[in-house]
A and B are shown apart, each in its own frame.
Chain A
Amino acid sequence: EDKVVQSPLSLVVHEGDTVTLNCSYEVTNFRSLLWYKQEKKAPTFLFMLTSSGIEKKSGRLSSILDKKELSSILNITATQTGDSAIYLCAVVKAAGNKLTFGGGTRVLVKP
């Protein structure tokens, strides 16, 4: 059975801190890993990763995939209160196009 596990479950930081979120997966025929941010409503897309070792960056957020370790990290530097959200990781297999999500990491950034 396919598995996507995120850690930690939740964390509380202060503005300006750096946050590192983890996503590990066990799937056959891996194709891509995606990160989403969910505030109060719909998950919104952040990154898609397909190749190991290539960092994707958007402002203060960055992510990298390690196919050997079957994992990915999402970093947020200089956190702001607007970064408070649930961060979701999803994996897509080569056959088909469905996204299998992990349980998410809830991040709370305090002023």
Chain B
Amino acid sequence: DAGVIQSPRHEVTEMGQEVTLRCKPISGHNSLFWYRQTMMRGLELLIYFNNNVPIDDSGMPEDRFSAKMPNASFSTLKIQPSEPRDSAVYFCASSIVGGGDKAFFGQGTRLTVV
């Protein structure tokens, strides 16, 4: 099993540009989470999906952030326009609804907005 796959691993972009982060969950998992990690705020949940449906997006910072899950094997997190304060490591994780609460994390995308 390849685990949760995220791309790109690193992204450096200029303020104002659009950024798209991608995630492929573990095959058979039907719950997908987007987290953001910074030194100041730790690991924060941005949004999560069950069976491709957004369940809780209360952690999404503002309208500049959006997330989609068009099918069971792919999700995107988009930031438009990006700002320097969005610099962080973004993790995607997946789990099985009703199959225990253990979530598996991808390797993360380190985003730097200059």
Residues of A bordering B, CB below 8 Å: 31-32, 34, 41-45, 48, 88, 92, 96-104
Indicate if the CB atoms of B108 and A98 lie closer than 8 Å: no
The size bracket of the interface on B is: 20 to 34
Indicate if the CB atoms of B102 and A48 lie closer than 8 Å: yes
The 7 A-B pairs with the shortest beta carbon distances in the complex, nearest first, are: A42-B105, A101-B43, A92-B101, A103-B42, A32-B101, A43-B105, A41-B107
Indicate if the CB atoms of B106 and A88 lie closer than 8 Å: no
Quote the shortest CB–CB distance from A34 to chain B (angstroms).
6
By secondary structure, the B interface counts as: strand
By secondary structure, the A interface counts as: strand
When C-beta atoms are compared, the residue in chain B nearest to A42 turns out to be B105
- Interface-centre pick from A44, A92, A98, A103 (highest chain B CB count, 10 A): A98
Partner of B43, one of A48, A92, A104: A104
Please name all residues of chain A whose beta carbon is closer than 8 Å to the beta carbon of B91 when the two chains form the complex.
Answer: 42-43
Indicate if the CB atoms of B105 and A99 lie closer than 8 Å: no
13 A-B residue pairs with Cβ-Cβ distance under 8 Å, sorted by A, are A34-B103, A43-B91, A45-B104, A48-B100, A48-B101, A88-B43, A96-B56, A97-B31, A97-B48, A97-B50, A98-B45, A101-B43, A104-B43
